[in-house]
Amino acid sequence: MTIRVSRFAPAGLVSLLAVFAASAAQADEVQVAVAANFTAPIQAIAADFEKDTGHKLVAAYGATGQFYTQIKNGAPFEVFLSADDTTPEKLEKEGDTVKGSRFTYAIGTLALWSAKEGYVDSKGEVLKKNEYQHLSIANPKAAPYGLAATQVLEKLKLTEATKTKIVEGQNITQAYQFVSTGNAELGFVALSQIFKDGKVTSGSAWIVPASMHDPIKQDAVILNKGKDNAAAKALVEYLKGPKAAAVIKSYGYQL
């Protein structure tokens, strides 16, 4: 980056431009693997992060299990925002992360959702009525929200009854898309996909009680490729701060 300053510029302006040039030179880019359920929050956070720190966040979105495989195969990710706590812990034990960098950035909430107003009741009784043709969930082997969905069905003793109705998405974004496009009448999604500022933004939903499935603790960690990247360290610290926390909570997550 080149900044040209007139020899007639005031000394104060020269000093300010020097500070700006120094900070710009120190700005870095961080490659982040982001669990699909956290797409909207991280997009909002990224804008503030770049404005406040000068660093740029470049995100890829997908299923946690798929990201694990990509990371093990050498993908260039520097920070991993997982949809669970077990995958980052596993990477930590396998020596793929910066020691001491792992922390829980959000606790997710599962919701049963339909794009149709009034279709899903506030207690999820629509599941037991069994009058729908398709029920969308994320792949339980790759997506923690999909696993949580299967636990809910098991708890309600509906595993067998819904077996032929399940439409499985590769990740929670695809599970959401099946419902939003009408290919499934209802489905289990992340609350963050349909919730903003205290209310469900479209359709109808049952917010699944946390007691019906294992906690969806979402951990972040700096990967080895990011150990010397100032932007990676800055992002992790930013996610712990009040500005990011306000965004995360606005999408229905717990902290």
Per the annotation, binding residues for molybdate are 64, 172
Residues 6+ apart with CB under 8 A from 179: 113, 114, 115, 136, 185, 186, 187, 189, 203
Distance CA 213, CA 195 (A): 20
Secondary structure in 3-state letters for 63-114: CHHHHHHHHHCCCCCCEEECCCCHHHHHHHHCCCECCCCCEEEEEECEEEEE
Q: Is 187 helix (H, G, I), strand (E, B) or coil?
A: strand
Estimate to the nearest angstrom the gap between the alpha carbon of 126 and the chain centroid: 28
The DSSP symbol for 23 reads: H
* CB hemisphere CA count around 236 (13 angstroms): 21
Long-range contacts of 12-16 (CB under 8 A, 24+ apart): none
- The helix or strand, by DSSP H or E, that contains position 49, with its residue range, turns out to be helix 39-53
Q: Provide the annotated binding site.
A: 64, 172
The total of other beta-carbon atoms located within 10 Å of residue 48's CB is 15
C-alpha pair distances (Å), 24 with each of 4, 6, 42, 184, 238: 15, 20, 23, 48, 18
CA distances from 204 to 34, 65, 113, 180 (A): 27, 29, 6, 11
